[in-house]
Structure 1
Amino acid sequence: MHVPDGKKIYFASDNHLGAPTGDQSLPREKKFVQWLDTVKDDAAAIFLLGDLFDFWFEYKTVVPKGFTRTMGKLAEITDSGVPVYYFVGNHDLWMNGYFEKELNIPVFHRPQEFLLNDKCFLIGHGDGLGPGDKGYKRMKKVFTNPVAKWFFRWLHPDIGVRLAQYLSVKNKVISGDEDVKFLGEDKEWLVQYCKRKLEQKHYDYFIFGHRHLPLEIRLNETATYVNLGDWIGYYTYAVFDGNILELKEYRQ
């Protein structure tokens, strides 16, 4: 993908819209939509790296209600010709065609490589990557199992969505009861994952979400790992101008 002069590529992640309640997340949603408004004019592309919603499940004819401002703004952006790319997170991994059909947004379920100008990027949400976190990896296999999804789909949406919301608000990161801290490079699983990938191939940038912590770590002389933080406490995003990637905070 070529980034024209004067254009930029934007990256954001982990909005968790709907958490802990719709009313409480509405100010965050409005702020995110304002940010989309500020970047749409000079955006060559926008990458959303997962957990836009705190819960998302696509039934055959039903999707969770709400998030109208976000959906409308994304439709406006793609209709104007600016491409948007979406990577599912661990809270919205049950996407199955709605974004592609309604919003013209490609959806990825695994990290993907992108060549932006002459820079090689590896981009994804970040959950379940690297060593450790075996409990979550087992749980993800259950969540993505076709049989488990089939059974969940037969729950009435009012029951299924309420159950998912109940489980989600127990997450201390989302509720604000837990301060996310940097664990050190040897204990950050995504850092370890990136270092292992560099043993196989050169990348200039690794961009992930999931950790809810803005991070920019030099892995070697030419490779950098960036974590986008979140839109709950940090309101951070990354911008690539064709040459340099920067991590920034959105302030109204």
Structure 2
Amino acid sequence: MLQETPLRSVAAGVPGEGQHPRAARPFFLLSDIHLSEAIPHTVAAFEHFIRVTAEQADSVFILGDLFEYWVGDDMLVEPFVARIAALLHTLSERGIALYIMHGNRDFLLGKRFMKAAGAIWLPDPFVITAFGIRVALAHGDGLCTADHGYQMFRRFARNRFAQMLFLASPFRWRQKLAENMRAKSEHGRMRPVSLKYDVAPKAVAALFKASKTATIIHGHTHLPARHREPGGMRWVLPDWDLDHGAHRGGYLRIDADGIRALPLG
């Protein structure tokens, strides 16, 4: 099935819409930052975004793949990970809500991390109402239904029993496995070379119908764009990479003027 959990609206749960002193402030959405110590310039850009850019926001939504990989919340013992969690926690300390959705690389982010980061987990997909606009949010990998091999892996990897078995294995073994997989995929930054790896039109149409929205925002494909679909507008978030070749990155801003794609500042 396309949906892992029933779509629910957080119109009454997300700060904004006249319920919060910061209600006039915008919502910022980003994804696919793929944080790791191997990409220091990207990490620095993310730190600037959280410390400076996000100060304008009411809420920040990270729609998956915050980290390059995540093999369990015991990764919080790593100084780099603890530093990122502490950085994210400064958002809630400043009255800025943080919402995090699982991606295809960090779907094992759990309650311990969410608490350390001061974040609220969002299921995929999810519907919010922002400045009167109903928006369906997704990471995007669930929409790539033409990639049958990946979808089989996705169903297996999201199985709770399979996750329990994996998380019960030694931490260093899990970490080494993830590092090996990352090396094989060139640090996880290979661009799709086939329509097989992009979203499927039927899956997009199904999400428009199920969510009863005319706007979808997702990441995952690393193909940032705004698409006018039969069911409405589909925005694709960019991946972030300031360490390999041409710089990539950016975010979406939702405010009273609508939705805009903005570069990293």
Alignment partner, residue 245 of structure 1: 259
| Other-structure match for 2:233 | 224
Q: Does the aligned pair in 2 maintain the 1:12–1:49 contact within 8 Å?
A: yes
Mapped contact 2:191–2:222 kept (Cα < 8 A): no
Structure 1: how far apart are the matches of 2:249 and 2:75?
30
**What are the residue-to-residue correspondences of 1:170-181 with 2, within 5 Å?**
170-172=184-186, 174-175=188-189, 178-180=190-192
1:57 corresponds, among 47, 68, 71, to 71
Is the Cα–Cα contact under 8 Å of residues 197 and 221 in structure 2 kept in the other structure?
no
2:162 aligns to what? 148
Whether the 8 Å CA contact 2:131–2:255 is kept in 1: the answer is no
Instruction: Give the AA of the match of 1:98.
Output: R
Aligned residues: 241
Change (3 A) 1:68 1:201: closer
In 1: Cα distance, 2:45 partner to 2:208 partner: 36
Q: Which residue of 2 aligns with 1:213?
A: 223
| Distance in 2 of aligned mates of 1:174 and 1:153 | 22
Deviation at 1:214, TM superposition (A): 1.0
User: CA 1:136–1:42 in structure 2 vs 1: closer, same or farther (change >3 Å)?
Assistant: same
The secondary structure found in structure 1 opposite 2:90 is: helix
| TM-score of the superposed pair, with normalisation by structure 2 | 0.81
Deviation, 1:6, is 5.1
1:204-248 Cα distance to aligned partner (Å, 9 max, x none): 32110101121111225x821011111124112111123311112
8 Å CA contact 2:97, 2:119 repeated in 1: yes
In structure 2, C-alpha distance between the alignment counterparts of 1:29 and 1:187, rounded to whole Å: 26
* C-alpha distance in 1 between matches for 2:47 and 2:144: 32
Query: Once the 2 structures are TM-superposed, how far is the Cα of residue 93 of structure 1 from its aligned partner?
Result: 0.4
Match of 1:229, SS?
Answer: coil
Q: Counterpart amino acid of 2:239?
A: D
Matched, 1:163 2:177: yes
CA contact (8 A) 2:76 2:113 kept: no
1:108 aligns with 2:122: yes
Determine helix, strand or coil for the equivalent of 1:189: coil
What displacement does 1:170 show? 1.6
Residue 194 of structure 1: aligned partner = 204
The structural deviation recorded for 1:161 is: 0.5
| Residues 63-117 of structure 1: CA deviation (Å, up to 9, x unaligned) | 3622344322211111111101000001000122023322331112321000112
RMSD across aligned C-alpha pairs, in angstroms? 2.6
> Could you tell me how far 1:203 is from its partner in structure 2?
1.8
* Partner secondary structure for residue 141 of structure 2: coil
**Amino acid of the structure 2 residue aligned with 1:174:** G
- If the length of structure 1 is used for normalisation, what is the TM-score? 0.84
Unaligned runs of 5+ in 1: none
Structure 2 vs 1, CA of residues 117 and 91 (structure 1 numbering), >3 Å: closer, same or farther?
Answer: same
- Structure 2 Cα separation of the partners of residues 5 and 154 of structure 1: 43
Residues 230, 191 of structure 1: alpha-carbon distance in 2 compared, 3 angstrom cutoff? farther
Match of 1:16 among 13, 19, 34: 34
